[in-house]
A and B are shown apart, each in its own frame.
Chain A
Amino acid sequence: MKLLAITSCPTGIAHTYMAAEALQLAAKAMGFEMKVETRGSVGVENELTLEDIKEANAIIIAADTNVDRERFQGLTIIDASVQEAIKDAKGLIEKAANSKKNTGSVYTEQPNKPTRTGPYKHLMNGVSHIIPLVAAGGLIIALSFVFGIEAFKEKGTLAAALMNIGGGAALALMVPILSGFIAYSIADRPGLVPGLVGGMLASQIGAGFLGGIISGFCAGYIALWIKNNVKLPKSLDGLKPVLIIPFFSTLIIGLLMVYVIGTPVKALMDFMTEALKGMSSVNAGFLGLILGAMMAFDMGGPINKVAYTFGVGLLASNVFEPMAAIMAAGMTPPLGLALATFIAKKKFTPEEQESGKVASIMGISFITEGAIPFAAADPVRVIPSLMVGSAIAGALSMVFNCALRAPHGGIFVLFIPNAVSNVGMYVVAIAAGTIVTAIMLSILKKDLTSDRTANM
């Protein structure tokens, strides 16, 4: 029989390891196989895997810190302090050896949440850090619209300050933070700096959150490789974490982002801009469809930006219909997600369900970024759903001949006289896109129980 334990103390320097060793020694003396995960200042070592947890009946948690117990549903948990483990390892092991699998109602009713592993775990580490950032930034921008959709353009006003806090600072940090914490998850602290810088560059070159995900993974693995493979003379060893790893990993990821990612992104944007210009004369509904899908593809990334810039550019030539399609398509991703978290609760974690409420406010404010945490967590299923809904919203808006004279503002524009023509049908277009998005999501996304990629 296999025994498991976790040891962890606040400073994480000595007790954690003493307790681990004491448990292992006692287990060995008693003839048991034991695996101990240590959580000290070096980080998590000898991590318990899903396999370990499946094989075991009980786990000893000898910790004076908070240890997440969720992954041990189904096991009997024996709680102890680290001192108890040091003092009476034998007693704890006897308890563990005599316990049965915990097959109480908790285990059968709630799905055994799989542990996050591999790249997915890294991705989620980034996503979970941007959720509150997006919520805070998005809501603060929405707040600025309360003063009128053009209010932020007046320098020195509160509206301008709100726009700067929400858009200029909070949302601007989103891609760097996403990238930084993906890299942090891969390489621990050495990953953070190249991850943040790579994300900042992804943002600067207009590669959006998809670029941020790429930079996060590249930066993390680069830092990890340097950490594990670059050997230095002992006298220089102290320089490794403060200078060598940050310098080289940042340099490499930086050059990669600028030349390997940045150049094609720019070429792609130029190409699509040209293609859109050629499309202006074709069927209006089809143009709306394409613009809509582009808006939802990367939400603030290069494709989205091409579509948006295209619409804004046309405003100067007094062509207002594509702008209407673009805004409708930019509103439906967060709105559709908000609706989906409501009608298909099973497919979203409690955390996502809460984010859904915030997303609805961002949706009505035309802050498409509200959908990013959902899209980043499960891109393969979420992005196509959003694209279909947005494409329909865009196409309908064009077909109904809706026109929009302002490049932003969301629902707030609707109350401004003459800003939107054919308001009634415009609302219909947005509503239709929202509903389609939500339906697509509830079809494509899997239940939390059956699929780990739907887990947060």
Chain B
Amino acid sequence: MNIQDLLSASRVKLNLESNTKGDVINELIDILYEDGKLSDKDRYREAVLRREEEFSTGIGMGIAIPHAKDISVKEAALTFGISKTGIDYKALDGTSAHLFFLIAVPDNSNDVHLKLLSYISRKLMHQEVRDRLMSAKTYDDVLAAFKD
């Protein structure tokens, strides 16, 4: 198990088109669904939105991590997108979000996936990782950002 498996090239979009929080969530979920990782798109979207209602997953520093753990997810998967313009994601620090990680975890995920997600989450706290993601031009750039 490595990052490529969790975050495949087909689920990385370097130029997100949406301009609002609602739209960007839909845009990311569409990518995830088309890649065959969801059994029930609407159900998953509801789970993600429910999570957002608790408190925004816009954690500041230009990052948002909408996520849900739900039975509508077939297999743990990440979807990554970059918005060049930035989107108001009601972030904690009030800044707009540029980097979006949609995290989908099935109800009975195994530890390997969860460990990898925790690894990626930790990496995002590093300034240099965020900088490299922001300037990523290709899928390989994205992967390289997570590897030292």
Residue ranges of A at the interface with B (Cβ–Cβ < 8 Å): 10-11, 13-18, 20-22, 25, 38, 40-42, 83, 86-87, 234, 237-238, 240-241
Contacts and interface: CB of A to CB of B under 8 A. Distances in A.
Contacts of B57: 14-15
What 6 A-B pairs have minimum CB-CB distances, sorted nearest first? A21-B122, A21-B125, A17-B121, A17-B118, A14-B121, A42-B114
A87 B118 contact: no
Contacts of A17: 117-119, 121-122
Given A15-B59, A18-B125, A87-B93, A237 B117 contact: no
Nearest to A227: B111
Given A14-B57, A22-B125, 10 more contacts: A11-B51, A11-B68, A13-B121, A15-B59, A16-B118, A18-B121, A21-B122, A25-B126, A86-B60, A87-B60
Contacts of A238: 110
B51 A41 contact: no
B69 A237 contact: no
Q: Which of B55, B67, B115, B125 has the largest count of A CB atoms less than 10 A from its CB?
A: B125
B121 A21 contact: yes
A14 B117 contact: yes
Provide the main secondary structure of the chain B interface: mixed
Contacts of A13: 67, 69, 103, 105, 114, 117-118, 121
Interface size class of B (residues with CB under 8 A): 20 to 34
A20 B122 contact: yes
Interface in B78-116: 92-93, 101, 103, 105, 109-112, 114-115
B71 interface: no
A14 B114 contact: no
Nearest to B118: A17
Nearest to B76: A13
A20 B115 CA distance: 14
Nearest to A188: B111
A10 B51 CA distance: 10
Contact of B55 (A14, A16, A83): A83
B133 interface: no
A240 B110 contact: yes
Nearest to A84: B92
Nearest to A234: B1
B124 interface: yes
B25 interface: no
Nearest to A89: B125
A13 B57 CA distance: 12
A420 B117 CA distance: 68
B118 A42 contact: yes
A234 B2 CA distance: 10
A11 B123 CA distance: 19
